[in-house]
């Protein structure tokens, strides 16, 4: 019947979860965020239960709304999903510090935007499956990205041969499963640095 959350002395706001039985139809008619089944009114979302006593209508005000879309200059987190010619295709899952998107936004990373130094081929900087932190250059679909800045780039990369996560050791990415060395434009915040707790945990798994 919903989880009670007391706000004040005599004020009780009820939170409904999807499928919660809220009322019988004789008592309240269904409004927004609810559905009726065999004379019963259920919540269809996570939200606050609102009873309109005059209209005898019950609704659920959804709490969860999709976070705002990425904007120019935003720092975003995404996954490389494909490579074509000089461009990496990236799915943006989150604006840094905000909630993640239900459906990712499409973005592109051109080889000229991966490093301050000249990079000949995009695969020398990113590879499908890599988790990247990037900056949104323009508000356009797909979003053009850049990983030139120091903090930007690959946060986590996987071995192209055996798909194990790569460890960053002495500025190089090493696979501890197959011994392969790989090249990426890594972020200064790369997640698996040699000697870090995370790296030791992963090594223990292997
Ligand atoms: Zn490997």
CATH number at residue 198: 2.40.50.140
- Is there a domain that residue 67 lies in? no
- Is there a domain that residue 40 lies in? yes
Q: For the whole prediction, is pTM greater than 0.75? A: no
- Indicate if 79 and 152 belong to the same structural domain: yes
**Cα 188 to averaged position of ligand 1 atoms, centre (Å):** 22
pLDDT tens-digit map of 8-49: 444 455 888 889 999 999 999 999 999 999 999 999 888 889
For residue 186, pLDDT beyond 70 = yes
- Indicate if 107 and 161 belong to the same structural domain: yes
Looking at residue 136, its pLDDT comes to 97
- Is there a domain that residue 113 lies in? yes
Share of the chain above pLDDT 70, in %: 91
For residue 50, pLDDT beyond 80 = yes
**Cα 183 to averaged position of ligand 1 atoms, centre (Å):** 13
- Is there a domain that residue 45 lies in? yes
- Indicate if 81 and 108 belong to the same structural domain: yes
- Is there a domain that residue 70 lies in? no
pLDDT tens-digit map of 157-172: 999 999 999 999 988 9
Contact 147, 114 (CB under 8 A): yes
**Residue 67: CB partners within 8 Å, gap ≥ 6?**
95, 98, 99, 100, 101
- Indicate if 51 and 87 belong to the same structural domain: no
Looking at residue 79, its pLDDT comes to 97
The average pLDDT across 132-154 equals: 95
Neighbours of ion ligand 1 (CB under 5 A): 159, 161-162, 164, 175, 177-178, 180
Q: Phi then psi for 197, rounded to 5 degrees?
A: -60, -45
- Indicate if 39 and 135 belong to the same structural domain: no
Looking at residue 161, its pLDDT comes to 94
**Cα 205 to averaged position of ligand 1 atoms, centre (Å):** 14
Mean pLDDT rounded to a whole number for the chain: 88
Burial class (CB in 10 A: 0-12, 13-18, 19+), 183: middle
Contact 89, 82 (CB under 8 A): yes
**Cα 59 to averaged position of ligand 1 atoms, centre (Å):** 54
Structure token pair of residue 172:
């190089």
**Cα 94 to averaged position of ligand 1 atoms, centre (Å):** 28
**Cα 71 to averaged position of ligand 1 atoms, centre (Å):** 36
Q: What is the CA radius of gyration of the chain?
A: 24
- Indicate if 13 and 84 belong to the same structural domain: no
- Is there a domain that residue 69 lies in? no
Structural domain span for residue 193: 75-205
- Indicate if 174 and 114 belong to the same structural domain: yes
Looking at residue 4, its pLDDT comes to 44
The average pLDDT across 174-191 equals: 93
CATH number at residue 27: 2.40.50.100
- Is there a domain that residue 51 lies in? yes
**Cα 11 to averaged position of ligand 1 atoms, centre (Å):** 59
Burial class (CB in 10 A: 0-12, 13-18, 19+), 186: buried
- Indicate if 88 and 16 belong to the same structural domain: no
**Cα 58 to averaged position of ligand 1 atoms, centre (Å):** 57
Looking at residue 13, its pLDDT comes to 57
pLDDT tens-digit map of 88-140: 999 999 999 887 888 899 999 999 999 999 999 999 999 999 999 999 999 88
The average pLDDT across 72-84 equals: 96
- Indicate if 49 and 135 belong to the same structural domain: no
Structurally, the chain folds into a number of domains equal to: 2
Residue 205 pLDDT grade (very low, low, confident, very high; cuts 50, 70, 90)? low
d(CA 145, CA 143): 6
């Amino acid at each position: 019947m919903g989880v009670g959350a007391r706000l004040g002395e005599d004020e009780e706001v009820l939170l409904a979860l999807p499928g919660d039985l809220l009322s019988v139809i004789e008592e309240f008619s269904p409004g927004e965020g609810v559905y009726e089944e065999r004379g019963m009114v259920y919540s269809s979302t996570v939200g606050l239960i609102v009873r309109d006593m005059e209209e005898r209508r019950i609704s659920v005000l959804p709490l969860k709304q999709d976070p705002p879309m990425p904007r120019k200059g935003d720092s975003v987190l995404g996954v490389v999903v494909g490579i074509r010619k000089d461009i990496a295709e990236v799915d943006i899952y989150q604006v840094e510090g905000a909630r993640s998107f239900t459906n990712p936004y499409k973005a592109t990373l051109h080889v000229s935007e991966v490093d301050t130094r000249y990079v000949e081929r995009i695969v020398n900087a990113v590879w499908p499956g890599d988790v990247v932190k990037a900056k949104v250059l323009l508000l356009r679909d797909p979003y053009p990205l850049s990983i030139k800045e120091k903090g930007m780039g690959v946060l986590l990369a996987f071995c192209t041969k055996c798909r194990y996560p790569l460890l960053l050791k002495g500025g190089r990415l090493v696979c501890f499963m197959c011994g392969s060395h790989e090249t990426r434009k890594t972020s200064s915040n790369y997640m698996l640095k040699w000697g870090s707790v995370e790296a030791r945990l992963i090594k223990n798994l292997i």
